Amino acid sequence: MKALKLLSAAALGIAISAPALAAGYPEKPITVVVPFPAGGASDTTARVTTQKMQESLGQPIVVENKPGANGSLGAGQVAKAKPDGYTLIVGSIGVYAINPVLYKSLPYDPTKDFDLLTVAVRTPNVLVANPNFPANSVKELVEYLKKNPEKVTFASSGAGSSDHLTAALFWQKTGTTGVHVPYKGGAPAITDLIGGHADVSFQNLGAVSNHIKAGKLRLLAVTADKRNPAFPDAPTMKEAGVEGVEVYSWQAVAAPKGLPADVKGKLEQSLTAALNTPDVKGRFNDIGFEVVANTSGQFSEFLNQEISRWKTVVETGKITADQ
């Protein structure tokens, strides 16, 4: 009798101490941390994707917004969370690739503290100008910049944002300079661009496509590797004569480092499946996003490339956002 009790206790112990047995995963609601306020690009990505994922995983997925410090507050918390598959993060290029090269002290290291799962979506940046700005093409802009150094204002969605760094990259590749005018987010930057208070800006295609269609902004080039179907007349940067300015804003999913292999597998599978359903794809396309849904290996290789590229840009341009 006593032996039986011991035996069952031992069996119970094994069952409890073996979380790797993910047959039951997920057994409770999963929390997806979005380190930005509700309504932004990361938030939209998380909500659209998880809505589909809950169907295949059979558990509710709760999106929790933990905004603060350019996303590093929420990312730091996820980095310290238990790697049991019940805490995930959906973050942007800023969280994964830019914060690490820009800030000296960061509460997380994206290459060491996360199990990278997949790059969910990406959207090209576009170079837009106020319609009254004298330059009609990238070539004209470069000439104008060379004639008027430190005169043209480049609006960005913040110091150290991906569009700020894209502008810096553009200056470095073309040998020009402009005045960087940071705003508090993309929306006010676009507003001032439409109002003619700033001259040009690199913005996410989705955020400005309607303004371009309405003639409120002039599209000079797409920073993608191919032309965008929505604007077939707009050249890519390469076609416009500027090499090496291919920049996407992307949103990716990760978990705290050390996920049990089968949990990771299950998550990857469910993520890719959800992202590839026509319904989800369609919704992302509507808002200018392109579904990537790559593997964790591809994500990690891509992340290393991105980090090293932005590191060069930041060092060459002597960009600081943290004194």
Residues that bind another protein (CB under 8 A): 31, 37-40, 43-44, 47-48, 51, 62-70, 72-73, 76, 102, 107, 150-151, 153, 158-160, 179, 181-184, 187-188, 190-192, 194-198, 206, 209-211, 213-214, 216, 283, 286-288, 320-323
309 vs 4, 156, 165, 244, CA distance in Å?
62, 19, 10, 10
> How near is the Cβ of 302 to another protein at its closest, in Å?
25
Measured from the Cβ of residue 64, the count of other Cβ atoms closer than 10 Å reads 15
Amino acid at 103: Y
Question: Which residue number, 238 or 319, has a Cβ lying nearer to another protein?
Answer: 319
| Alpha carbon distance 145, 151 (integer Å) | 8
If the CB atoms of residues 2 and 184 are measured against another protein, the closer one turns out to be 184
Output the smallest distance, CB 283 to another protein, in A. 6
Nearer to another protein, 7 or 179 (CB): 179
Minimum separation from the CB atom of position 239 to another protein (A):
26
DSSP letter, residue 97: I
CA separation for the pair 80, 172 (Å, rounded): 37
Smallest CA-to-CA distance from 274 within 297, 248, 253 is with 253
Say how many Å lie between the first and final Cα of the chain, rounded.
Answer: 69
Instruction: Give least dist CB 18 to another protein, A.
Output: 17
Kindly tell me which of 114 and 289 has the beta carbon lying closer to another protein.
289
Cβ-count burial 209-227 (b if 16+ within 10 Å, e if not) = bebbeeebbbbbbbbbeeb
| Cβ nearer to another protein, comparing 289 with 302 | 289
Give whole-number Cα distances, 73 to 69, 155, 297, in Å. Answer: 6, 26, 26
Tell the smallest beta-carbon distance from residue 162 to another protein (Å): 13
Query: Residue 203 phi/psi, 5° resolution?
Result: -135, 160
Contact residues for 313 (Cβ-Cβ < 8 A; gap 6+): 165, 168, 169, 172, 319
C-alpha distances (whole Å) from 148 to each of 32, 130, 219, 307 are 47, 17, 21, 32
**Least distance in angstroms from the C-beta of 42 to another protein:** 11
Compute the least distance from the CB of residue 233 to another protein, in Å: 19
